[in-house]
Structure 1
Amino acid sequence: MADVVPPETPHYVPAPETKADVDYADLPIIDLSKVSTPEGRLALAQQARDAMSNQGFFYVINHGLTSAQTGRMFDIADVPFARVSEEEKKIYVHIDGGVRDQLEHYNVNRDVRKRQHPEPLRPFLPEIEAFARHNHENILHPILRLLAIGLELAEETLVNLHGFSSVGETYVRFMNYPRSKEEETKTNNVWLKGHTDFGSITILYSQPVAALQILTKEGAWKWVKHVENALVINAGDALEFLSGGFYRATIHRVVQPPPDQRTYTRLGLFYFCMTDDNVKLAPLLESPVLQRLENLKRVDDAEVPSMEVWRRGRTAAYGQSDLKPMGNGVEEEVINGVVVKHYN
């Protein structure tokens, strides 16, 4: 049987790394090649536990994709923005038109047949589907096992809440940031204001344009450094709920890059992970770690949202809520009884 020739698309050339002196966050690196042994998993679980309970972010290396394979996915990620006509973009590509958060993004559910796609992207759907499955089974699931061990739970506890074929909205996302000088002035160079993700785990493929920043426990914004062919992993609301606040959904934002990168495109490649829709986002109280937790973070039992309810609430509120100013650039809204903060 002859090898299947993948469809052609122009190669996306990333920006060179910045030479600017910026204040980078000190994030640990998890080497997934070490998960194959019990000793390796135990050591990595301690690393992941410390990272998620302190910074809410860490890097992953040796995730099963070569640099060439990752580069191919960035080529595909550029298709909805570079090869789709303006007419088709109006139908398929989500464009946030508000000045505060101006970006283009295109989501592909892990079930790539769930919706129609623009014609230029259709030949690449088999590769996107394989990419989603790899992220889910070979990256997300090993990370969830480590985090379960960190909570002193059975290894499969969190994996069992994240089925690949379950009903839900886990998806691949391609993201592009088109900005004008006028918009930069109006937004004080903030491309995407400070927020938490509402899923459980976000997988971001590291790219060289420096723009992502995280808010530390001390209240300082620090940059996330590019690590070649690495993943940037962060916790979202759902994981914070399930862990009673032990694992942190860290506030992060996207800002204007340093001067030597401002003429380059910032193209994002993500896998946004959520639990199955019917999972109640209540603390996993069978965890001995949570039983010892003095400041257990939880919602009243009667108000505990399911993943579906929380997802729909956060999605519906985005850009529509009347945010209450709290001072120092912080705004608040209440979704399903939970206070959600935004940082301008």
Structure 2
Amino acid sequence: MPTKVQQPLKAYIPPPPTKEDLDFADLSVIDLSKASTPEGRSELALQIHKALRDVGFFYAINHGYTSAQTARVFDIASATFDLVSDEEKRDYTGKDTSVYRGYKPRKAWIIDPGVRDEIENYAVHRNVTAQDHPAILRPFLPELAAFTRHNHDNVLQSVLRLLSLSLELPEDTLTKLHDFEAAVSFIKYHPRGECDAPEGNNVWLKGHTDIGTVTILYSQPIGGLQILSKDNKWRWIKHIDDALVINIGDGIEYLSGGYYPATRHRVIQPPVDQRNIPRLGVFYFAMANDSVKLSPLDHSPLLQKEGIKKYFDANMVPTMEEWRRERTSRYGRSELKPSATEERVEEERIRGTVIKHFN
């Protein structure tokens, strides 16, 4: 059988990890290879329970993607930004602000008064042929399709089974709610120029929670990602070769009745020895099925025992699609108001529940 020949592509060469002495968060390392047996899943469910209750992030290793495959995806991600002209990018910029599809250009979001973002996104629908792509990407669509499928089948489904077990539910509870509603995003954080607001130079993406259920980030060496710890301190996320950095979003918080709070995180200027280097990210943002109501899984024995928080009035509970569209259309565009109870926190209200933005 002939070997499949990959299309040639310029290699993305990442810089070395920072040597700065930073305050790194202490994250659990979950070995997904153990998820192949019931005994292994029981062990990992306990680890994930502790990780999400104590910190909110964890690393996943042995997830089935090789170093070479990971490097190849970063090559494709880099080409998406560096080998496409500004004119062609405009042709593939998403027109509907309630849907992530195609390019999001720099300066579309407000970071601070008078300060706009320097972040480029390129979002790919789970069905990669459901949208048009710039010419440079078209030869690589089969690889992107395989990448999305790997993340869904081999990573997300494993994590969802472990989450279900950790809530004392049948392990297919959450997998049944996730058919294939997700998007791959390539994100390039460009170094900020000088601006009038000093904080705007330092904070590249305000502290926030993710919209969906589970976020899968392919670890890369340029620092900047931070988590807001329980002691209210921002701590850096350390790079681990070939690891995934996984966190949960609004969807899991609402489905778990607040038992697993969505992870609060931000992106700031990289450490001094990586300053002025663009930061390239490869993400898989998972969502529950569009029709899933974001109300608590109140048949969970654990939640019945620990208590269940309801975020919405009965007649205002959004579906995943409604929540995704509302938050996506508002992000970086809506007017935020200072919190009356927390310093350096801004708020907005969606469907009667408060969404916080941390700075």
Bucket of the pairwise TM-score, normalised by the shorter protein: over 0.9
The residue type equivalent to 2:273 in the other structure is D
2:355 maps to: 340
Cα deviations by residue, 1:276-320 (Å, 9 ceiling, x for unpaired):
000000000110011012353432221111001100110111122
Give me the whole-angstrom Cα distance separating, in 2, the residues matched to 1:224 and 1:85: 32
The residue type equivalent to 1:216 in the other structure is S
Matching of residue 65 in structure 1 with residue 81 in structure 2:
no
Give me the whole-angstrom Cα distance separating, in 1, the residues matched to 2:313 and 2:230: 26
Matching of residue 95 in structure 1 with residue 77 in structure 2:
no
Alpha-carbon contact 1:196-1:237 (below 8 Å) kept? yes
Give me the whole-angstrom Cα distance separating, in 1, the residues matched to 2:300 and 2:308: 14
Matching of residue 308 in structure 1 with residue 321 in structure 2:
yes
The residue type equivalent to 1:86 in the other structure is D
Alpha-carbon contact 2:207-2:266 (below 8 Å) kept? yes
Alpha-carbon contact 2:164-2:172 (below 8 Å) kept? yes
- % of aligned pairs identical? 56
1:172 maps to: 184
In the alignment, which of 234, 243, 246 is matched to residue 233 of structure 1? 246
Matching of residue 205 in structure 1 with residue 218 in structure 2:
yes
2:79 maps to: 79
Give me the whole-angstrom Cα distance separating, in 1, the residues matched to 2:83 and 2:125: 20
Give me the whole-angstrom Cα distance separating, in 2, the residues matched to 1:259 and 1:280: 44
Alpha-carbon contact 2:25-2:235 (below 8 Å) kept? yes
The residue type equivalent to 2:221 in the other structure is P
Matching of residue 182 in structure 1 with residue 194 in structure 2:
yes
Could you list the structure 1 runs, at least 4 aligned residues long, displaced by more than 3 angstroms after superposition: 183-186
Cα deviations by residue, 1:255-278 (Å, 9 ceiling, x for unpaired):
011110114221000000000000
Give me the whole-angstrom Cα distance separating, in 2, the residues matched to 1:186 and 1:12: 30
Matching of residue 124 in structure 1 with residue 136 in structure 2:
no
| 1:332 partner SS | strand
The residue type equivalent to 1:156 in the other structure is D
Give me the whole-angstrom Cα distance separating, in 1, the residues matched to 2:56 and 2:192: 32
In the alignment, which of 151, 162, 168 is matched to residue 135 of structure 1? 151
TM-superposed CA distance for 1:325, in Å, is 1.2
2:173 maps to: 157
1:292-331 aligned at under 5 Å gives the runs: 292-294=305-307, 296-326=309-339, 328-331=343-346
Which segments of 5 or more consecutive residues in structure 2 lack a partner in the other structure?
Answer: 93-102, 110-114
Give me the whole-angstrom Cα distance separating, in 1, the residues matched to 2:214 and 2:149: 15
Alpha-carbon contact 1:101-1:191 (below 8 Å) kept? yes
Give me the whole-angstrom Cα distance separating, in 1, the residues matched to 2:251 and 2:264: 14
TM-superposed CA distance for 1:243, in Å, is 0.4
Give me the whole-angstrom Cα distance separating, in 2, the residues matched to 1:89 and 1:173: 15
Of 236-245 and 46-55, deviating more is: 46-55
Cα deviations by residue, 1:169-209 (Å, 9 ceiling, x for unpaired):
x1110000112331484604100000000100000000001
Alpha-carbon contact 2:191-2:278 (below 8 Å) kept? no
| 2:212 partner SS | coil
Matching of residue 256 in structure 1 with residue 272 in structure 2:
no
Alpha-carbon contact 1:240-1:247 (below 8 Å) kept? yes
Matching of residue 191 in structure 1 with residue 204 in structure 2:
yes
1:265-284 aligned at under 5 Å gives the runs: 265-284=278-297
Give me the whole-angstrom Cα distance separating, in 1, the residues matched to 2:198 and 2:148: 37
Give me the whole-angstrom Cα distance separating, in 1, the residues matched to 2:251 and 2:324: 9
Alpha-carbon contact 1:191-1:255 (below 8 Å) kept? yes
Give me the whole-angstrom Cα distance separating, in 2, the residues matched to 1:74 and 1:8: 14
Which segments of 5 or more consecutive residues in structure 1 lack a partner in the other structure?
Answer: none
